[in-house]
Amino acid sequence: MSEALLEVTGLTRRFGGVAALDDLSFRVRDGETRCIIGPNGAGKTTFLNVVCGLVRPTSGRITFAGHTMSRVSPSRMAHWGMVRSFQTPTVFAGLSIELNLQLGARRPGAPDGWADRVEHMLVELGMEDRRTQPARDLSHGERKRLEIGMMIAGVPRLLLLDEPTAGMSIRETDEVVDMLRRLCGEMTVVIIEHDMSFVRQIADGVSVFHRGSLLVEGSLEEIQADKRVQDVYLGSGVD
């Protein structure tokens, strides 16, 4: 079994009297694609915010690629190879598709050869003939795919995706699945997602968060059969 690339132990984050994360322990193996599911308010997005340094934990330990993440800036984490998306696509609307990809491919700490990676990504996205088009002209689904392409072009070690298929059609969701399967290679990916069809197609393992803690984890089939998960999130009639 691969070593853990990301591991958190006893992670807690309080906002006043509310514990958004409550003594959470979680680990992801190097090269794994892990999906995190759970009801609204379970602490999923807070977890990503704390892991990538946008929010400081109240207590607990985060280890990434052998580094203990104590008061480390998001830019330093990016240099070590951790990148994340947000629920709303964060592309540069006034810049061209090609320039957006260049910015992603040249992230701090990225390997050499960014120009070749940009050309490859333009082809993979099917946007090579639209490279000069401003990102503002893209549809929601295209912006999401461009954002993911920007992240992958920088060759991160850990890709954190927050609801990458939110607002997408079934066809657009399938395109994201195909893209991640083709391009992520040995990359480690952690995905927050509500779409069980997407989870079924992409996840090596699934973790269920509830009230800021890890409720259960396993394969999607094991998760769906778990009475605790049915009670707090999925419901007994889910496919």
Going residue by residue through the chain (239 aa), what tens digit of pLDDT does each one get? Answer: 568 999 999 999 999 989 999 999 999 999 999 999 999 899 999 999 999 888 999 999 999 988 887 667 777 788 889 999 887 778 999 999 999 999 999 988 899 999 999 999 999 999 999 999 999 999 999 999 999 999 999 999 999 999 999 888 899 999 999 999 988 888 999 999 988 899 999 999 999 999 999 999 999 999 989 998 888 876 544 43
Tens digit of each residue's pLDDT (9 = 90 or more) over 78-89: 888 999 988 777
According to the model, what pLDDT value does residue 221 have?
92
* Rounded Cα–Cα distance for residues 56 and 130 (Å): 40
Residue 238 lies in a domain: no
E strand or H helix that includes residue 5: strand 4-15
What lies within 8 Å, CB to CB, of 131 at 6+ separation is 96, 97, 98, 122
Residue 135 lies in a domain: yes
According to the model, what pLDDT value does residue 97 have?
98
Q: How many domains does the chain have?
A: 1
* Rounded Cα–Cα distance for residues 74 and 39 (Å): 27
According to the model, what pLDDT value does residue 234 have?
65
According to the model, what pLDDT value does residue 153 have?
94
CA distances to 48, 57, 78, 157, 167 from 199, in Å: 18, 28, 26, 21, 16
Residue 239 lies in a domain: no
Cβ atoms < 10 Å from Cβ of 157 = 18
* Rounded Cα–Cα distance for residues 54 and 47 (Å): 10
99-102: list long-range contacts, CB under 8 Å, 24+ apart. Answer: 100/135, 100/146, 100/150, 101/146, 101/149, 101/150, 101/153
Tens digit of each residue's pLDDT (9 = 90 or more) over 122-176: 999 999 999 999 999 999 999 999 999 999 999 999 999 999 998 888 999 999 9
Residue 184 has φ and ψ, to the nearest 5°, of -80, -25
Q: Determine contact, residues 213/23, Cβ cutoff 8 Å.
A: yes
According to the model, what pLDDT value does residue 238 have?
40
According to the model, what pLDDT value does residue 80 have?
87
Domain extent for 181: 4-233
According to the model, what pLDDT value does residue 235 have?
58
Residue 145 lies in a domain: yes
CATH number at 10 reads 3.40.50.300
The pTM of this model reads: 0.91
Residue 226 lies in a domain: yes
